[in-house]
Structure 1
Amino acid sequence: MIRLRDWLSLPLGLLTLRFLPELPSAWIIGLGFCIALLLWPYVRPFALFLLGLGWACVQGHWALEQRLPASHDGRTFWLEGQVVGLPEYSESVVRFDLDSVTSRHIGIPARIRVSWYKGPKVQAGERWRLAVTLKQARGSINPGGFDYEAWALARGLGAVGTVKAGQLVQGAESSLGGWRDQLRTRLLSIEATGRAGGLAALVVGDGSGLSRADWQVLQDTGTVHLMVISGQHVSLLAAVLFAGVALLFRWGIWPQTLPWLPVAVGLALFGALGYGWLAGFEVPVQRACLMVALALIWRLCFWHLGVWLPLLVSLTLVLVINPLVGLQAGFWLSFAAVALLILGFSGRLGRWTALVSLWRAQWLIAVGLLPLLLALSLPVSLTGPIANLVAVPWVSILVVPLALLGSALLWIPPLADPLLGLAGYLLEGLFQLLRVLATWQSAWQAPELSWGVRLLLILGALLMVLPAGLPVRTLGLVLWLPLFFPSTIVPAAGRAEVWVLDVGQGLSVLIRTAQHSLLYDTGPRWGDLDMGERLVLPSLRALGVQRLDRLILSHEDNDHAGGLLSIVQTMPVLEVMSGTQGALAQGLGAKDCQTGSTWEWDQVRFSLWRWEQARDDNQSSCVLSVEASGERLLLTGDIDQRAERAWLTSDGAGQADWLLLGHHGSRTSSSATFLKAVRPQAALVSRGWGNSFGHPHPEVVQRLESLGISLFDTAKLGALRLELGARGSLEGLRVRQRFWFRL
């Protein structure tokens, strides 16, 4: 007989996949299965662990094999597939997932995500034949950044692409996706005080109708979970249906010949599955429905086995079905939240009021999930407990029931419109309150913490969520002291830490000394995709940068200055300088980059140069030289070969140990004469993977190779880190390998 505690080994083995730097080979996995079978009669926990780990590795190999091969990267193929999920519309772009993809070419992934610029209206459930330029699903790798590649792998996305042409093959009239899309369109067309997008998020799980400002408010107040169909909404509906039958039975209204418990369980399960069906059964909803179903079955048949059984069984089943869900932050947060609630409420004494129970739940979530949020590099809302104390019952008890009832009655507009209108007004009122809280205190992005500090925070959180009255709870707060006095590792005097951030086809470089921070360029902005907001700011916060003493724009081209406004509006910047005086620089009162300007921070010397005879913005780029303990770094912006020749005649010309290639490695820069004069030991290039400009140009790469100059590329290596003045080597974050990283 297998004991319950033995089964803990199986999910632990499945979860280990998340932390593997690389997957073991097939023969090692097979050997592990054999060892597990041999040990089964003697050491079942270890055998279950090996079985779980082996199964997870098999699934990991299968997922990696479904990704686009390098030989197909950047090529255009005709393919056919079905639109799954709800398409997302943003300005003139529609983005959607294609599943069951077929093509006459070998190696095309079965599921991809595409963007169609100025494309037609696309509906879920339709089947299209498309000409798509495919690319590998690569993401930027930065300190504290979102891991796009892990997200894509967990969702089964083998590639991303841009649609060049297409034709509709089959409509979506009879499909679930088509029906959901029609319902979303109907909801978005309703006048509900501008909150129709929020109603669509709560009814069909589509958040594209909410603006970026709305999502920022939700993030700052820790209420994002309320606008996505999650376990909270699904379990609430099931609980309401179950409680309805239970109350009828308690009041003596229920028929005596009909057993109330099986009916209550069946009705609750039907409601949960129906809500999941309405939401499209995305992975988080599948997980929620499974957990609710197991909890109901446990209540019906296994009540005597304790409250932890349904959680453990659902955790194991979710991981067995798809071990890759462990790569998603939502998986960890959802199961951890349920575990915390069980832990916090199972040991209570006496009966609590509804308000006390609600506050207790918010306390458990806020304290218990904090270490996990920090470990996942997610922002922490300091106003979350207060916001959720109001928002959870507001949305769960008022808005969601009204929205669902109104949606069910859409075929009777005189009844549906008032219900949905009231739900919209209630949602708007909630957003007004959340905006006040978000203005008062935005979300906090903590710097990266050591593993030792993380373990202390976890232990402290576990102690603090224990039942009241236990004296060890105070010790939990003591273990949290390192969080209130964070220690960020800074360079020693005479050294500078340099980060060339991975911002795609653009540039942003952070330079830190012992007491100061400088940012050279801010990354690009493409439409609503602001790399300054999405990549640069999270990286600065993860590295513990609280303010910028100086922000230098090499020039005002979008790929160098696109993220400027989001940075200066969010983080204190003492001084802005620019190589060109365009609208951005003038609007911020930026100083000119003047040749010969020098300063020293913490025994690190900085100097500027700009070509006075420049004829365009690229030639006007502000060139920055940084020297620490005799080791020199040269940042050249987008200067071309004519500007390089002018620099060679300046007073600041000379050799450099490290050179950031001009214009992302364009052949109009980095001439052989310039490279021979600078004689760097290595060159750095910041560019986007598969960019349409062909950077770095093969001629530039050939020049570097002929001179024996090493090349470090953000597109291949992720963000690049260098400790200037230490005479050490340079490292790329992608080398800190996870098994899903492409090198």
Structure 2
Amino acid sequence: MRIALLGLALGLLLLRALPLLPPRWVLLTLALLALPLLLTRLHPLGFALLGFAWACHSAQMAVDDRLDRSLDGRVVWLEGRVVGLPEPQDGSLRFQLEQAHSRRGVLPARLRLSWQGAPDMRAGERWRLAVKLKRPRGLVNPQAFDYEAWLLARRIGATGSVKTGERLEAATGIAAWRDQLRTALLATPAQGRAGTIAALVLGDGSGLEASDWRLLQDTGTVHLLVISGQHIVMLAGLLYAAVAWLARRGLWPRGWPWLPWACAVAFAGALGYGLLAGFDVPVRRACMMVGVVLVWRLRFRHLGVWTPLLMAMCAVLLAEPLASLQPGFWLSFAAVGLLAWTFAGRLGAWNPWRTWWRAQWLLALGLFPLLAGLGLPLSLSGPLANLLAVPWVSAVSVPLSLAGTLLLGIPYLGDGLCWLAGGSLVALFAVLECIAAWLPAWIPVAFPLWSGVLAGLGALVLLLPAGVPVRLLGSFLVLPILFPMLDRPAPGRAEVWMLDVGQGLSVLVRTRDHVLLYDAAARHGEFDLGEKVVVPSLRALGVAQLDLMLLSHADNDHAGGALAVKKALGTGRVISGDVAGLPARLGAKPCVASDWEWDGVRFATWRWSAARNGNEGSCVLSVEANGERLLLTGDMGRAAEAAWRAEHEEPVDWLLAPHHGSRSSSSAAFVQATRPRAVLISRGWGNAFGHPHPEVVQRYRTAGALLYDSAETGAVRIRLGAFDEPLKLRDHARFWREK
């Protein structure tokens, strides 16, 4: 049985690694071949083929449910019902819509929409909306968050922005009840932590500030403040223990067998908590895991601990094969597996404190390769933070929050319990702030698959019982991801990355021993692309500190993320063509004409001295390596282009299209003067400005230049001085990724 489950799990998990989905006739053939194998000794292979065929078929259904290309970028009127809790964010409202239909065409089953300045909207309501729809599309950068995979895993077939709308039907059902409960919780006197209580009770994280999320990430405690498997398991465990305690004390009715009742009550509690939290994918996964474990406890304990774990994994993946696209799936099963690996078969008993401490550092060590492989930040303070926070949240904050929620209808009692819950959370965050200030999160350098596999094996070896001779070998196996071999440019060469930052700009230029960042992307309210995209990408590329941050000018799409970058990486110098428009904390100095050399690579800056605005005063950077030249132009327009031409006549190999390819720049005279071999365009997909303008695109193509558009290519890497083809990250095929 265990081998069959293992085969099924491997077949289902293989979906995660596929660059493309096989045609349906191939899947049907595999399924037909699997059926006779189930009756032979090769039945594990048969189960693997069936699992693979089902996973691919389910994924194809999700891919096919994406918005029709004919509606991409168009404003359509549609009707649908709001599902889940709408999330207020930076003056807008984000929500999901289901049962949507329009006269313009068939719509996906689920839409994710935003509405700037939205009216009061409740879960369960039905609305008629005018929406500009887009096919799912995200930024593609080195080891950054994969938004397209996140959308597909939730089977969201389109995103969009609402222009206007009207309510057609009031909210009804459990969705409306959850929304009303959230409103009641947010109105409680919870010492400023009402939003955090809503996260614990309802799984609604919209009440947490961006600073809260950073703090939780730095301390590895994100899983504590949103409803996760831990909360479901904790409640189920408490209910099971309560029934067992009553039975041992003779207080349980003798006519009711305590074990079946304990399992039933525990599972009912898990389901109830799951429904309270909206029964989202992670919650459904946790409930299924709890159900499988309880069935194992009731009837199949003789099968050991690995069989129920495999059963739970197969159950989760059969119900939702796309769960393997979510990091939470891998982390939850890996954590349970590590605990089973490290504690099963140990001789002798440990006291509770020693057991709890060992569990924390064993999980930190065992999950380290997986977290690094998934591109997630690693919290060096996580073991200590969780050692204190997990029991506090589980034994104090969650029980008080749930009790306060259940008793909200009783005057003073419900509010009083929520006040106590808020106080417990205030104390928790104060402790976490001290820990985070001591050891913030660390983003590892990207590493090849082979070193990740070795590190995973090394972690398992290190977790073997004390006295096993090969444990020391595990330390050496982990070293390749702790100290990766960085691919530094040779002397006289440079590595250039145009990051995919949407409607903005950020370009990394790295020589053998120096690093320069040209612009730092945008910041939109609490969402800082400097923090969310630029910093993780630079960390993954092995950049620990910047020698120079050059901000072409002060516009948000070029300099909005600069403070976050400087805080995270540190910067030797900051210069800009528009110092007055930048925050004083950056300590920026004016851009002046200058030239210098780093590791055999020549750099030169230029700024039009007669510029009358920030765009025209953009600081221009020229980089030359082994005779190959790159020109970064910021947002300069035609007047600044004319001034540049008056002082420079040499052509360039790589040109960053001025002002994202707008019609007000890239004049015919400038294109003729630069005669670029290739042109880089940094812009957002379907942006409201129409960048790049068709006339500009045609002008460059007529000049014989190749175009590399970040919206179509993702991040682009150029080995300046090698005169070879660039690397386009969107060319790395993933079945969920748009071309």
Into which bin does the TM-score normalised by the smaller protein fall? over 0.9
1:293 corresponds to which residue?
291
> What are the residue-to-residue correspondences of 1:664-703 with 2, within 5 Å?
664-703=660-699
> What is the CA distance between 1:467 and its match in structure 2?
3.0
> What is the CA distance between 1:572 and its match in structure 2?
1.2
Contact 1:648/1:654, CA 8 A, preserved across alignment:
no
Contact 1:128/1:167, CA 8 A, preserved across alignment:
yes
> What is the CA distance between 1:295 and its match in structure 2?
0.8
1:641 corresponds to which residue?
638
Q: Distance in 1 between matches of 2:719 and 2:496?
A: 6
> What are the residue-to-residue correspondences of 1:113-152 with 2, within 5 Å?
113-152=112-151
Corresponding residue SS for 1:649: helix
> What are the residue-to-residue correspondences of 1:223-234 with 2, within 5 Å?
223-234=221-232
> What is the CA distance between 1:258 and its match in structure 2?
2.4
Find 2:320's aligned residue among 319, 322, 325: 322
Q: Distance in 2 between matches of 1:686 and 1:404?
A: 48
> What is the CA distance between 1:589 and its match in structure 2?
3.0
Q: Distance in 2 between matches of 1:91 and 1:444?
A: 28
Q: What amino acid is aligned across from residue 706 of structure 2 in structure 1?
A: S
> What is the CA distance between 1:380 and its match in structure 2?
0.4
> What are the residue-to-residue correspondences of 1:378-393 with 2, within 5 Å?
378-393=376-391
- Comparing 521-530 with 547-556, which one deviates more in the overlay? 521-530
Deviation per CA, 1:343-385: give whole Å up to 9, x if none. Answer: 2221222222211121122122101111110000000000100
Contact 2:317/2:324, CA 8 A, preserved across alignment:
yes
Q: Does 1:705 align with 2:701?
A: yes
Find 2:447's aligned residue among 435, 446, 449: 449
- Comparing 97-106 with 731-740, which one deviates more in the overlay? 97-106
Q: What amino acid is aligned across from residue 619 of structure 2 in structure 1?
A: C
> What is the CA distance between 1:586 and its match in structure 2?
4.9
Contact 2:240/2:263, CA 8 A, preserved across alignment:
yes
> What is the CA distance between 1:31 and its match in structure 2?
2.0
1:629 corresponds to which residue?
626
2:27 corresponds to which residue?
29
Normalised TM-score (structure 1): 0.98
Q: Distance in 1 between matches of 2:107 and 2:637?
A: 40
Q: Distance in 1 between matches of 2:723 and 2:563?
A: 35
1:263 corresponds to which residue?
261
> What is the CA distance between 1:245 and its match in structure 2?
1.3
Deviation per CA, 1:503-556: give whole Å up to 9, x if none. Answer: 100000000000000000010112222111111111111101011000101111
Deviation per CA, 1:291-345: give whole Å up to 9, x if none. Answer: 1111111111111111122211111111111111111111111111111112222
Corresponding residue SS for 1:208: helix
Q: Distance in 1 between matches of 2:584 and 2:157?
A: 45
Find 2:599's aligned residue among 598, 602, 606: 602
Deviation per CA, 1:645-683: give whole Å up to 9, x if none. Answer: 211111x43111111100000111111221122111111
Q: What amino acid is aligned across from residue 118 of structure 2 in structure 1?
A: G
Contact 1:113/1:157, CA 8 A, preserved across alignment:
yes
> What are the residue-to-residue correspondences of 1:374-453 with 2, within 5 Å?
374-453=372-451
Q: Does 1:52 align with 2:86?
A: no
What are the ranges of 5 or more consecutive residues in structure 1 without an aligned counterpart?
none
> What are the residue-to-residue correspondences of 1:392-541 with 2, within 5 Å?
392-541=390-539
2:193 corresponds to which residue?
195
Q: What amino acid is aligned across from residue 621 of structure 1 in structure 2?
A: S
Corresponding residue SS for 2:166: strand
Q: What amino acid is aligned across from residue 438 of structure 2 in structure 1?
A: W
Corresponding residue SS for 2:12: helix
> What is the CA distance between 1:414 and its match in structure 2?
2.4
1:252 corresponds to which residue?
250
What are the ranges of 5 or more consecutive residues in structure 2 without an aligned counterpart?
none
Q: What amino acid is aligned across from residue 613 of structure 1 in structure 2?
A: A
Contact 1:381/1:442, CA 8 A, preserved across alignment:
yes
Q: Distance in 1 between matches of 2:418 and 2:199?
A: 13
> What is the CA distance between 1:38 and its match in structure 2?
4.2
Q: What amino acid is aligned across from residue 669 of structure 1 in structure 2?
A: S
1:549 corresponds to which residue?
547
Q: Does 1:77 align with 2:76?
A: yes
> What is the CA distance between 1:687 and its match in structure 2?
0.1
> What is the CA distance between 1:587 and its match in structure 2?
4.5
Q: What amino acid is aligned across from residue 54 of structure 1 in structure 2?
A: A
> What is the CA distance between 1:279 and its match in structure 2?
0.7
> What are the residue-to-residue correspondences of 1:299-378 with 2, within 5 Å?
299-378=297-376
Q: Distance in 2 between matches of 1:6 and 1:204?
A: 37
Q: Distance in 2 between matches of 1:591 and 1:122?
A: 47
> What is the CA distance between 1:684 and its match in structure 2?
0.7
> What is the CA distance between 1:557 and its match in structure 2?
1.0
Q: What amino acid is aligned across from residue 372 of structure 2 in structure 1?
A: L
Q: Distance in 1 between matches of 2:727 and 2:479?
A: 32
- Comparing 477-486 with 376-385, which one deviates more in the overlay? 477-486
Q: Distance in 2 between matches of 1:591 and 1:264?
A: 69
Q: What amino acid is aligned across from residue 155 of structure 1 in structure 2?
A: R
Corresponding residue SS for 1:16: helix
Q: Distance in 2 between matches of 1:199 and 1:245?
A: 27
Q: Distance in 2 between matches of 1:199 and 1:353?
A: 32
Contact 2:622/2:630, CA 8 A, preserved across alignment:
yes
Q: Distance in 2 between matches of 1:520 and 1:715?
A: 19
Q: Distance in 2 between matches of 1:169 and 1:585?
A: 46
Q: Distance in 2 between matches of 1:36 and 1:62?
A: 21
Alignment size in residue pairs: 738
1:715 corresponds to which residue?
711
Q: Does 1:618 align with 2:615?
A: yes
1:741 corresponds to which residue?
737
Corresponding residue SS for 1:132: strand
Corresponding residue SS for 2:544: coil
> What is the CA distance between 1:125 and its match in structure 2?
1.0
Q: What amino acid is aligned across from residue 48 of structure 1 in structure 2?
A: F
Q: Distance in 2 between matches of 1:255 and 1:677?
A: 92
Contact 2:404/2:414, CA 8 A, preserved across alignment:
yes
Q: What amino acid is aligned across from residue 244 of structure 1 in structure 2?
A: A
Contact 1:102/1:110, CA 8 A, preserved across alignment:
no
Corresponding residue SS for 2:549: strand
> What is the CA distance between 1:45 and its match in structure 2?
1.9
Contact 1:347/1:467, CA 8 A, preserved across alignment:
no
Contact 2:373/2:452, CA 8 A, preserved across alignment:
yes
Contact 2:2/2:310, CA 8 A, preserved across alignment:
no
> What is the CA distance between 1:139 and its match in structure 2?
0.7
Q: Distance in 1 between matches of 2:470 and 2:176?
A: 55
Contact 2:505/2:558, CA 8 A, preserved across alignment:
yes
Contact 1:665/1:695, CA 8 A, preserved across alignment:
yes
Deviation per CA, 1:27-50: give whole Å up to 9, x if none. Answer: 222222222234333422222221
Deviation per CA, 1:569-606: give whole Å up to 9, x if none. Answer: 221100111112214165533222112x0010010000
Contact 1:606/1:626, CA 8 A, preserved across alignment:
yes
Q: Distance in 2 between matches of 1:646 and 1:414?
A: 72
Q: Does 1:728 align with 2:724?
A: yes
Corresponding residue SS for 1:570: helix
Deviation per CA, 1:163-213: give whole Å up to 9, x if none. Answer: 1111111111x3111111111111111111111111111111111111111
Corresponding residue SS for 2:543: coil
Q: Distance in 2 between matches of 1:38 and 1:708?
A: 59
Q: Distance in 2 between matches of 1:708 and 1:38?
A: 59
Normalised TM-score (structure 2): 0.98
Contact 1:640/1:663, CA 8 A, preserved across alignment:
yes
Deviation per CA, 1:602-657: give whole Å up to 9, x if none. Answer: 1000011111122221111111110000001111111112211211111x431111
Q: Distance in 2 between matches of 1:190 and 1:557?
A: 41
Q: Distance in 2 between matches of 1:330 and 1:315?
A: 13
- Comparing 413-422 with 29-38, which one deviates more in the overlay? 29-38
Contact 2:202/2:276, CA 8 A, preserved across alignment:
yes
Q: Distance in 2 between matches of 1:232 and 1:585?
A: 42
Q: Distance in 2 between matches of 1:270 and 1:550?
A: 58
Find 2:651's aligned residue among 648, 655, 665: 655
Q: Distance in 2 between matches of 1:436 and 1:653?
A: 57
Q: What amino acid is aligned across from residue 91 of structure 1 in structure 2?
A: D
